[in-house]
Amino acid sequence: MRDSFSILNVSGPYREPREPAFSYDYSIQRSDWPTANGVRIKVSIPDELDYLKNKILAVSGGSPGQQLRVTQLLCRRVADRKLQIADEESMLLERRDVLIGPFTGSLAHLFGRLESWMSEQKTSLRQEVREQVGL
């Protein structure tokens, strides 16, 4: 069994300047690594975030502030799940900084796993949005 990692720090979301995506920077540490490594997770706004928000959860309405909070909440959940998927795919085993892009193009084969997680978590995500945002 491979060693699991610990998340030491997460920062973001950052708006990617030349693409429709948000990104989070994770600092992860495995017990056998002397120092932590960085992982940047990009979440595609139209292909991942809007898909979850509009097609899976059907969240709409609310004030601009509520919509911002919904976007932040769901984007972070998607990024966290993408980090887990990347670990399951052994993309984080080496000691180096890693960029995990949107699950489109060369990583499109991973979108099915993200989509099934979205469907499984539909009820709990709606509840979290209701409790934290009021929508």
pLDDT digits (tens, 9 = 90+) for 87-124: 999 999 888 889 999 999 999 999 999 999 999 999 99
Question: How confident is the model at residue 32, as a pLDDT?
Answer: 87
Residue 62 has pLDDT above 90, yes or no: no
pLDDT band at 60 (very low <50, low <70, confident <90, very high): confident
Distance (Å, whole) CA 37 – CA 60? 37
Write down the pLDDT at residue 8. 96
> 62: phi > 0 → left, psi -120 to 50 → alpha, else beta; which?
left
Comparing CA positions, the residue from 64, 10, 4, 47 lying closest to residue 29 is 4
What is the model's pTM? 0.93
Question: pLDDT band at residue 1, thresholds of 50, 70 and 90?
Answer: very low
Quick: pLDDT tens for 2-58: 568 899 999 999 999 999 999 999 999 988 889 999 999 999 999 999 999 999 999
- Provide mean pLDDT across the span 48-73: 93
- Backbone φ and ψ of 40, nearest 5°: -105, 125
pLDDT surpassing 80 at residue 80: yes
Distance CA 54, CA 18 (A): 23
